[in-house]
């Protein structure tokens, strides 16, 4: 049997890599890149992060340990990782308007539409099948936050961008409002060049803007202080010292992305699945608080929000309501829910009521002082 010509094989692989990127575009991905599985340089940083306890109660982070940096061990036979990204920024997202209005609930922009895990994984599976049609049977496996993989360093090695000081991937043409996914394959495709230049420079805007100081140093996030962790990942009570800092953020936080200069170039997504749901777009906190568990499940069907469950949803809402205006209707709504509330939610309702009642007393005292000043003909500031 005559061995295949090495130059022809090489040419075929280059052609295949080119075609894969075209197919990825056709499937709705905004970019695709190819890299190997070597993340040895990331292992000391990952170990230091774990040793510092920055993963909080995300035990799976420690459980898998260095496997996160070894995709070839996770999926034996893996030679390459096809890393893809898909923009998710919705049209007219109205970030600032929601954050400025304490009566509204802020939901991280990625969670306003359909669960991205399902969208990306389905497209990656289709990409794998498309490759199979071209080359025959081969080994592949798609991942979208479904396995212990260091997806951002892999994406950076594949040329999709660089890891910013907030630890998110940044792209010169697209900012950071995009999802990442991976297709692990056993084909020796040619590698794309990583972006090696540091493009954050001296900018520390993301570090300065973080409401809870979670970015403890450039490229290091203490998850225990991160609002996304506190409102999504953590099942525990939100620490007392951080509750006021959450403001009206009820599911995730985008502050470090909103302030980033590179997001001036972020493009809106054309993917219909990522369009904001009406009930979640600029929602009134009091309206969300009045949802029953059945309504919560109905409004969050197919949404990533559903994964936190009704009790954590109520926990987050109680904190946001406690950070809002001292409104009699809000106080009454919280009080009426207290008796039937779970232990977790009740703790946060009581905190919120204490905050609102204290604020109302302060406002009443100010009003009383103003009335007395008017009666005595003194300046308002007396």
| Sign of the torsion angle spanned by Cα atoms 230, 233, 236, 237 | positive
> CB-based contacts of 274: which residues, under 8 Å, 6+ apart?
88, 90, 112, 113, 114, 116, 119
* Active-site residue, 145 included: yes
* Reduced 3-state DSSP string for 99-166: HHCCCECEECHHHCCCCHHHHHHHHHHHHHHHHHHHHCCCCEEEECCCCCCCHHHHHHHCCCCEECCC
| Residue 62 CA from chain centroid, whole number | 20
Give the integer Cα–Cα distance in Å for 334 and 282: 21
Give the integer Cα–Cα distance in Å for 245 and 59: 25
Let me know if 272 is exposed, middle or buried by CB neighbors in 10 A (0-12, 13-18, 19+).
exposed
Query: Of 145, 186, 273, 327, which one is the catalytic site residue?
Result: 145
Q: Which ranges constitute the DSSP H helices of the chain? A: 6-26, 43-51, 59-64, 71-74, 95-100, 116-135, 151-157, 205-209, 227-228, 240-243, 255-258, 285-289, 293-299, 309-322, 328-338, 343-376
Give the integer Cα–Cα distance in Å for 53 and 23: 41
* Closest C-alpha to 282, from 47, 48, 67, 105: 105
Q: Which residues have a catalytic role annotated?
A: 145
């Amino acid at each position: 049997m005559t061995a295949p010509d090495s130059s022809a094989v090489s040419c075929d692989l280059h052609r295949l890599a080119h075609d894969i990127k075209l197919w990825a575009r056709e499937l709705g991905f905004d970019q695709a890149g190819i890299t190997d599985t070597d993340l040895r340089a990331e292992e000391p940083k990952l170990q230091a992060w774990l040793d510092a306890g920055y993963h909080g109660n995300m035990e799976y982070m420690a459980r898998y340990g260095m496997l996160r940096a070894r995709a070839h061990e996770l999926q034996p036979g893996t030679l390459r990782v096809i890393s893809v990204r898909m923009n998710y920024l919705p049209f007219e997202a109205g970030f600032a308007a929601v954050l400025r209005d304490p009566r509204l609930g802020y939901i991280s922009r990625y969670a306003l539409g359909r669960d991205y895990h399902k969208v990306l994984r389905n497209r990656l599976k289709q990409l794998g099948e498309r490759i199979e049609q071209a080359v025959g049977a081969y080994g592949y496996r798609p991942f979208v936050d479904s396995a212990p993989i260091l997806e951002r360093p892999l994406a950076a090695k594949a040329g999709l961008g660089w890891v910013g000081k907030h630890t998110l991937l940044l792209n010169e043409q697209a900012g950071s409002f995009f999802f990442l996914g991976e297709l692990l394959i056993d084909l020796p495709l040619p590698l794309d060049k990583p972006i090696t230049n540091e493009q954050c420079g001296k900018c520390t805007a993301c570090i300065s803007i973080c409401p809870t100081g979670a970015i403890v140093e450039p490229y290091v996030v203490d998850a225990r202080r991160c609002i996304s962790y506190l409102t999504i990942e953590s099942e525990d009570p939100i620490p007392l010292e951080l509750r006021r800092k959450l403001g009206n953020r009820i599911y995730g936080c985008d502050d470090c992305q909103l302030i980033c200069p590179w997001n001036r170039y972020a493009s809106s997504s054309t993917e219909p699945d990522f369009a904001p749901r009406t009930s979640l777009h600029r929602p009134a906190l009091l309206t969300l608080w009045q949802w029953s568990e059945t309504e919560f499940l109905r409004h969050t069907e197919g949404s990533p929000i559903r994964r936190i469950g009704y009790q954590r949803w109520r926990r987050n809402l109680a904190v946001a309501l406690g950070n809002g205006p001292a409104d009699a209707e809000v106080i009454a709504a919280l009080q009426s829910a207290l008796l039937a509330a779970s232990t977790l939610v009740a703790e946060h309702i009581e905190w919120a009521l204490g905050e609102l009642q204290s604020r109302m007393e302060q406002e009443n005292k100010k009003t009383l002082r103003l009335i007395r000043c008017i009666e005595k003909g003194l300046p308002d500031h007396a």
